[in-house]
Homo-oligomer: A and B are copies of this chain.
Amino acid sequence: MEYSNRVKKMQSSPIRRLIPFAEQAKEEGKEVLHLNIGQPDIETPKEFFKAIEKHAGKVIPYSHSAGIKELRQAFSKYYERWHCTITPDEIIITNGGSEAIIFAMGTVADPEDEVVVIEPFYANYRSFAGMLNVNLLPISADPEAGYMVPDLSNYDSKITNKTKAIIFSNPCNPTGAVYPKEDVLRILEFAKKHDLYVIADEVYREFVFDGLKPFSIMEFTEYHDRIILVDSVSKRYSACGARVGLLASKNKTVLEQVMKMAQARLSPPTVAQMGTLGFLEMAPEYLEEVRDEYQRRRDIVYTELSKVDGLYFKEPKGAFYLAVKLPIDNSEKFVKWMLTEFDINGVTTMVAPLDGFYATPGKGEQEIRIAYVLEEKRLIQACEILRKGLEKYMKLAA
């Protein structure tokens, strides 16, 4: 039986598609240190379960399709920390940031419409676009320039009336780049010039290092009509499995349209929403401690990789990723080789090849993403193994 071209064109997750090789390695008795997926090891604050206990009634009902009111109020209050006025009515709670992106793309783009994306980008943007039959129009960031926002005017001629929005994450997954306010403003001006929506994914907002201050695109009030904010508690509170994210907008029409989709799927997960109330009641300092932990880890990865000659990368300033260009021809082969051919005392490290994070065919084939989601001791071990593996592989490839 046939199935849809929609799914035929979709790729398997570039983060997950090499997992069978990892499973095989484990079956053969190897230990695999996972730096390939953004699943932090940091303990989820107990406040989550306490809040569930506090708020759960006798029935676990659907919540409002936009999410529990108290939770939207709590998020509204949270945004005040970043000098943004977002009312509870301007927030729609979603099944993680993932659903917020699906809703945003679905609201602004029809099949065969285009969404601009700064590549490398969070790989699942491509999958969500695929589900909705929306095409991606890539703007390429340069690894050797630290993956910062390039000169957008080079892309003016590519924008057509099919182009509806630009999407990006800041801090950036998969590169760890942090766009300063002036870069975000450049994106907004580009969007204004071409009448595009701006889908801003800020799930790593607080994870910025070296004294940088977190901010939100919602600060830019004069562009409010075109901004759709995507957020999530997954990374911030180490609660990826909660599946609590949100979409926020000051554009009432956008919210009305998103609500049609939100109502169709009835409700985001009620129990996890209750738990999230607990997160948002925590002191803001908690997030600073988590940030400091990630900064220490960033330092470890950066230091280790700096010992290897021939790599192209800049010190990443946020999120918990580092992307690096290797002097090899195919990073997927390297990742597989690490799993199948290399270990140090029975231990190896898994990272993610970066080609799946690009929309331009052929791009990213020399790059990898490292997610520093292990505690320091394990991370030091994982990075040493990675470095030694790299050194050996580059020698073999030379």
Q: Which residues of A contact B (CB under 8 A)?
A: 1-8, 10-13, 16, 37, 39-44, 48-49, 52, 56, 58-63, 65, 95-96, 98-99, 102, 106-111, 113, 124, 127-128, 130-133, 164, 195, 197, 225-226, 238-243, 251, 253-254, 257-261, 263-272, 275
Contacts and interface: CB of A to CB of B under 8 A. Distances in A.
A264 B13 contact: yes
Nearest to A197: B1
A43 B58 CA distance: 5
B4 A60 contact: no
Given A61-B240, A110-B5, A16 B263 contact: yes
B133 A111 contact: yes
Given A241-B267, A266-B98, A266-B240, A7 B107 contact: yes
Contacts of A269: 95, 241-243, 269, 271-272
A8 B109 CA distance: 11
Given A110-B4, A275-B271, A124 B44 contact: no
Given A60-B239, A110-B133, A111-B133, A260 B7 contact: yes
Given A43-B58, A106-B131, A241-B270, 19 more contacts: A1-B225, A1-B253, A2-B164, A3-B107, A3-B257, A4-B106, A7-B258, A10-B257, A10-B260, A13-B264, A16-B65, A42-B59, A98-B266, A124-B264, A131-B261, A131-B264, A241-B267, A243-B267, A271-B271
Given A241-B270, A260-B10, A107 B4 contact: yes
B254 A3 contact: yes
Contacts of A6: 106-107, 109-111, 132
Contact of A264 (B61, B65, B127): B127
Contacts of A268: 243
A4 B267 contact: no
Query: What is the total number of copies of this protein in its complex?
Result: 2
A1 to B, nearest CB: 6
Contacts of A132: 6, 131-132
Contacts of A106: 4, 6-7, 131
Nearest to A9: B260
A62 B43 contact: no
A291 B3 CA distance: 37
Nearest to A270: B241
A246 B250 CA distance: 35
Contacts of A39: 61-62
Task: List the 3 closest A-B pairs by CB distance, nearest first.
Answer: A241-B270, A127-B264, A13-B263
Contacts of A226: 1
A241 B63 contact: yes
A209 to B, nearest CB: 23
Contacts of A260: 7, 10-13, 127, 130
A61 B241 contact: yes
Nearest to A105: B4
Contacts of A48: 60
Contacts of A37: 62
A164 B2 CA distance: 9
A62 B241 contact: yes
A272 to B, nearest CB: 6
18 contacts: A3-B253, A4-B108, A6-B132, A7-B107, A7-B257, A12-B263, A13-B260, A39-B62, A40-B59, A49-B56, A98-B265, A106-B131, A240-B266, A241-B271, A243-B243, A269-B271, A271-B275, A272-B272
